[in-house]
Amino acid sequence: MTAATVPSDSLWRQYLVLTKPRVTQLAVFCAVIGMFLAVPGLPDMQKVVAGTIGIWLLAAAAFAVNCLIEQQIDARMARTSRRATAQGSIASHQVLMISGLLGGLGMFVLYHWVNALTMWLTFATFVGYAVIYTMLLKPLTPQNIVIGGLSGAMPPALGWAAVADSVPAEAWLLVLIIFIWTPPHFWALALYRNKDYEKSGLPMLPVTHGANFTRLHILLYSFALFGTTLLPFAVRMSGWLYLIAAVALGLRFVWLSWRLYKNYSDELARYLFKFSILYLALLFASLLIDHWLINA
């Protein structure tokens, strides 16, 4: 079935799926947190709205390019085989057109209504994810998600730059938290989707080094994540409310990682993957609430 024969409402849904809306929402959420943390009070709402739209558009464009590059890999995996690119229901040139349109519009919005720094940082993130990670790192090394995790960790810095027109150490601390969070989050998914990744041909850690090795690394990263999330309090970027939330959420993350390491099950790996998303959202939300209380 070609794009010309697909009903228009179904076609729009397929285009939407290519932009990975759930992943995009989490990235944009972290960017918005960065915007509100960049200043003591409320930020310039025009820049917040324009920055959110611009970052959202470029993120969507990057994910569409990712689906295009990985269409043959996606076709071999049950989790992604229904994507329009994997099924061939949307042609490659159409994906490039929609990605170019979204990306170009996003850069226009950021340059004209936010600032040039945010535009170039977001564009660099686009290149880092869609090209360096997807084309080079992901198919070549089992450490792909670690090395390539920087592009996925950038949203707080992008949001901070949108409001402050600078990226200070505090913004990079938020980037570091997401950078350390990414491997255990993604490896939990890779564990219970291990057979899928074997079919894909990608050198994911559970495929190349086995489940036990991967579970150990998830546990080690969960300890590293726990320590990293305490840094905002240590450098006086946050107060006691955030510290309590970080400790409570971090202990839960470590406990789940420990259980996964000692007594593995697909159900527990799936639960850790889902919890890790909630974990990040609650952690950043508590940082924002704490910030408002300190600067009230």
Say how many C-beta atoms besides its own lie within 10 A of residue 172's C-beta: 16
* CA separation for the pair 181, 253 (Å, rounded): 10
Same domain, 151 and 278: no
pLDDT tens profile 95-140: 899 999 999 999 999 999 999 999 999 999 999 998 888 888 888 8
Residue 38, by phi and psi: left (phi above 0), alpha (psi -120 to 50) or beta?
alpha
Same domain, 140 and 11: yes
Same domain, 54 and 75: yes
Domain count, the chain: 2
Name the residue range of residue 184's domain.
168-296
- Output the CA torsion sign for 27, 32, 38, 44: positive
* CA separation for the pair 143, 121 (Å, rounded): 24
**pLDDT (0 to 100) of residue 4:** 44
Predicted model pTM: 0.92
Same domain, 134 and 5: yes
Contact indicator for 269, 188 with CB cutoff of 8 Å: yes
Same domain, 157 and 183: no
pLDDT tens profile 214-268: 999 999 999 999 999 999 999 999 999 999 999 999 999 999 999 999 999 999 9
pLDDT tens profile 52-94: 999 999 999 999 998 988 888 888 888 788 888 888 888 888 9
Question: C-alpha angle with apex 138: 135 to 139, nearest 5 degrees?
Answer: 80
Q: Give the residue carrying structure tokens 């990040």.
A: 280
pLDDT tens profile 12-49: 888 888 888 888 999 999 999 999 999 988 899 999 99
